[in-house]
Amino acid sequence: MATGTDQVVGLSLVAVSLIIFTYYTVWVILLPFIDSQHVIHKYFLPRAYAVAIPLAAGLLLLLFVGLFITCVMLKNQKATKKAQ
């Protein structure tokens, strides 16, 4: 059973994810249909970042996953050498 702290952390992670998803959806899907002189455009970054930010985040994610797998494999290799 999750503790109260776990539930608060989980709820906050879900809330942050929902806010990011809503912001990105409005930015990418709805904003191109709104006039470029409208005041709402000042709350969003230029459209080029709509591709660059997820691309950079994906590359960082792949980098960290690769580093994690490499570290685990190296530790596993050292443990099997000691056992032999």
- Distance separating alpha carbons of residues 29 and 27, to the nearest angstrom: 6
Domain ranges of the chain: 1-44, 46-83
Distances (CA, A) of 82 to 44, 71, 73: 55, 17, 14
Digit-coded pLDDT (tens) for 16-72: 999 999 999 999 999 999 998 999 999 999 989 999 999 999 999 999 999 999 999
Contacts of 32 (CB under 8 A, 6+ apart): 47
Q: What is the pTM of this model?
A: 0.70
Q: Is residue 34 within 8 Å of residue 41, measured between CB atoms? A: yes
Structure-block tokens of residue 57: 């985040």
